[in-house]
């Protein structure tokens, strides 16, 4: 695996992570990883952080020779396996549920405030 191939695979993994975990596409893998902190298990986050460091090393020609391409491939394979196990739309459904829950809470607060004002004014 050449260094350019490894960088392309890391970029593809970043896009896959943003798609499967329903995150906005960020410019860097670090931004996607930060946004996915509660959606990834600890082992997957550790592998992704390691990929961030290896990506920085691959971008510099002097340090790229020290990177083991097989290690990069193993890390990418492990993360792709985990992301393949995430059910389609899982995080989108949770986001939708959280949105509806927030709306219901706000409506409840408004109704309670209305009842409190009516009681205070002696109309209820």
Domain ranges of the chain: 3-86, 88-124
**End-to-end CA separation in angstroms for the chain:** 75
Instruction: Using pLDDT thresholds of 50, 70 and 90, give the confidence band for residue 118.
Output: very high
Is 70 within 8 Å of 1 (Cβ atoms)? yes
* pLDDT in the model for residue 101: 94
Q: What is the dihedral sign for C-alpha 37, 40, 42, 44?
A: negative
Measured N-to-C along each axis, helices 3-20 and 42-59 cross at an angle, to the nearest 10 degrees, of 140
For residue 71, pLDDT beyond 80: yes
* pLDDT in the model for residue 108: 97
Q: What is the dihedral sign for C-alpha 58, 60, 61, 62?
A: negative
């Amino acid at each position: 695996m050449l260094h350019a191939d490894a960088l392309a695979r890391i970029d593809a993994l970043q896009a896959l992570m943003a798609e499967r975990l329903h995150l906005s596409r960020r410019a860097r893998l670090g931004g996607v990883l930060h946004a996915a902190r509660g959606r990834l298990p600890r082992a997957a986050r550790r592998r992704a952080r390691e990929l961030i460091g290896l990506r920085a090393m691959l971008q510099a020609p002097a340090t790229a020779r020290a990177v083991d391409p097989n290690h990069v491939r193993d890390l990418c394979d492990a993360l792709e396996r985990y992301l393949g196990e995430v059910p389609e739309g899982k995080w989108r459904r949770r986001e939708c549920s959280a949105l509806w829950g927030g709306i219901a809470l706000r409506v409840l607060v408004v109704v309670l405030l209305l009842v409190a004002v009516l009681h205070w004014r002696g109309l209820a």
